[in-house]
Amino acid sequence: MTKNITRTLMAATFLLSCGAGVQGIEAKKVKLASQTDLHGIWQSEGYGYVVETDSKNVTLYDVTDRVCVRSTEKAEQIKHYLQDTPPDVSPDKQTALFRTTLEDYAISLQRISNLPAVCDKLTPNTPQENFEAFVSYFETHYAFFDLYNVDWASAVAEKRPLVSDDTSDADLFAIMKDLMQPMKDGHLSLSATIDGEKKIYGPNRGIITDTLSQRAKAEGTDRKGKSDAFLKKYWLEGVGEKILNGDGELAAGFFIQYGMPTEDIAYIGFLTVAGFGNGDLLNERRDLAALDKIMDKALAKFDKAGAKAVIIDLSTNLGGYDFISRKIAGRFADKKRFIYSKYAADRLNAEPHKQYVEPYSTTGFTGPVYVLTSNATVSGGEILTMALRVLPNATHAGQATRGALSDVLDKSLPNGWKLSLSNEVYTDADGKKWEGRGIKPDLPITVFDPENLTQSHIEAVKTLITHIRQNH
C-alpha cells in the first residue's frame, strides 16, 4: 500500500534528537460518521484486505482463501487514509477507490454483504496455523518467486513436517526465516517478539547493514550502536564537514542536507523521502509543505551561487513516499514526462497505472543534474532515481540501487508477528523491471567500499565533482 515508512523513520531516528521538525499544513479530516456511503464491508481486489467500517470504527482483516486475521495496527492506518482522502464511491455504492494521501494510484474495493466465510472463525494462534498463514500470504500475494528461482511449493513441503503443536516460537521463526532466505528481496521482512526480545529478519539488508553487522559480531558489540555511529559519521561528519566544508545546511528534521562543495557545483542529499515535517508517521501533507519550503531555499541558494550543476545524493536513502520522490524530481524537470507504471500482481487482470513527473511551477533547476546512488538506495529512493533518470539533463552515477521497488504489503500472523512482502510490479519508462537487480548507473563509481564506508563515499563525491568539472 505504501513504502515501509515505519522502518524508514525508525532507521533514522538518531537524527531527530538533533533538531525539531518543521510545521506544515494538514487537511481537515472527513469523519467516518459523515461518510455514510462507505459504511459496510468491503473487499479489495488484490492486496488481501477486508475492511469493515461504521460511523466510528474501522476493522481490517488480512484474508486469503484459508486465512483470516484481524489487524489492529493496519486498521488505524486505513482509518487515517479514509478520513484524510475519502474514497471515490460509485453511484451504485458497490465500488470504492481507496487512495493513500496525495497519491492517485487506487486500490479497488468491492462491497460485500457479509464477511468471507473464512472469517466466520479467525485463524487460531497455533504453530501450525501460524505457519500455514505465513505460507498462504506468500502463495497469494508474492510477485517474485520466478525472479529468485524459488519453487515455493517444494520448499514449503520440505519444511511443513517440521512444524507441530510443540514447535517453539524460536524454531518457528527459524523455519520461516529459512523459507525467506533465497529471496533476496529488500522489502521482505519478518518481525516478532520472542521471550521478550524483538527479532527482525530480512534476506537483503544491503551493503551497509551487512558490513556493520559483521563488524559488530566480530567485535562482540551492539549492531544498533554501530549503525547509529555510522549514520552520524556519514551524514554529519562525512557530508557536513568533509563534502560541504562545514558550510552546508541541515533541514527537514536533518533528513536533507545541502550546500556548495565548490564555488559552482551544488549538492543536496536526501536520507529519506519521508518524515520531513515532524519525522513521524502519517503526516504526508506536512511532509510536502516542509519539502516545498526547503527546496525553495536550497535552489535559491544554488541560483545565487551561480551553480552550473547539482549533485543529488541518494547514496544512503532509506525510502518513503512515492509522491515525495516525484515532487523532488519535478524541481529538475523541463516538462511532463512518463516515469514508470505499476500494478498489483495479486489482482486479476490488473491494468498498469502510469505515473509522471511534472515541472514545479516556480523554483527549479534544469541545468546538469547528477544522481548518486548505491546498494543503500532503496524503495522510495529508487522511485526518485527512476524519476530523475527520465530527465535529459540528468546523469545517473554511482552503484546500482537495492532493487526493492514494490510497495510493502504488511500482513499479520495470528500470533501477532508481522510479515512484509512485495506484491507490486514497477516498470520504468523504457519498459525495464529493476526489481531484484537494482537500477544500474550510466557512470559507474564505487560509493561504498566495505573496508571504509564513510571515506569511500567522500571519495565518490569528489570523483563526481572532478567529472563535472571536466565535462561542463
- State residue 220's pLDDT score: 84
Q: What is the rounded CA–CA span in Å between residue 98 and residue 117?
A: 24
Map residue 50 onto helix, strand or coil: strand
Residue 451 C-alpha cell reads as 573496508
Quick one: pLDDT at residue 413?
Answer: 98
pLDDT for position 221 = 85
- pLDDT of res. 24: 38
CB-facing half-sphere around the CA of 192: CA atoms within 13 A:
21
CA atoms 340, 345, 346, 349: torsion sign: positive
pLDDT the model gives residue 273? 96
SS3 389: helix
Spatial distance between the Cα atoms of 62 and 115, rounded to a whole number of angstroms = 12
Asked if 472 and 308 touch (Cβ cutoff 8 Å), the reply is yes
pLDDT at 420: 97
Q: Which of 283, 124, 276, 130 is nearest to 192 (CA)?
A: 130
Amino acid symbol at 331 = R
Helices and strands, counts by H and E, the chain: 12, 21
Q: Which three cell numbers mark 182? A: 533465497
pLDDT of 3: 62
Q: What is the pLDDT of residue 22?
A: 37
Q: What is the DSSP letter of 449?
A: B
Helices 322-330 and 284-305: crossing angle in degrees, nearest 10, is 20
Q: Cell for 55?
A: 460511523
So what's the pLDDT on residue 383? Answer: 98
CA angle 261, 267, 271 (to 5 degrees): 125
Rounded (5°) CA angle 442-446-450: 145
Say which residues have a Cβ less than 8 Å from residue 135's Cβ, sequence separation at least 6.
156, 160
pLDDT, one tens digit for every residue, the chain (472 residues) = 556 555 454 444 444 333 333 333 455 678 888 899 999 999 999 999 999 999 999 999 999 999 999 998 899 999 999 999 999 999 999 999 999 999 999 999 999 999 999 999 999 999 999 999 999 999 999 999 999 999 999 999 999 999 999 999 999 999 999 999 999 999 999 999 999 999 999 999 898 989 988 988 888 888 788 888 998 999 999 999 999 999 999 999 889 999 999 999 999 999 999 999 876 667 899 999 999 999 999 999 999 999 999 999 999 999 999 999 999 999 999 999 999 999 999 999 999 999 999 999 888 999 999 999 999 999 999 999 999 999 999 999 999 999 999 999 999 999 999 999 999 999 999 999 999 999 999 999 999 999 999 999 999 999 999 999 999 9
3-class SS letters over 148-160 = CCCCHHHHHHHHH
CB atoms within 10 A of CB 107: 18
What was the pLDDT predicted at 16? 38
**Strand locations in 221-261 (E):** 249-251, 256-259
Query: Is residue 194 within a helix (H) or strand (E), and if so which, with residue range?
Result: strand 189-194
Phi, psi angle pair for 73, to nearest 5°? -60, -45
CA proximity to 240, closest of 454, 456, 466: 454
- For 244: left if phi > 0, alpha if psi spans -120 to 50, otherwise beta; the answer is alpha
Residue 116 neighbours by CB under 8 Å, 6+ apart = 43, 50, 63, 68
Q: How many CA atoms lie within 13 A of 91 on its CB side?
A: 0
How much is the pTM? 0.94
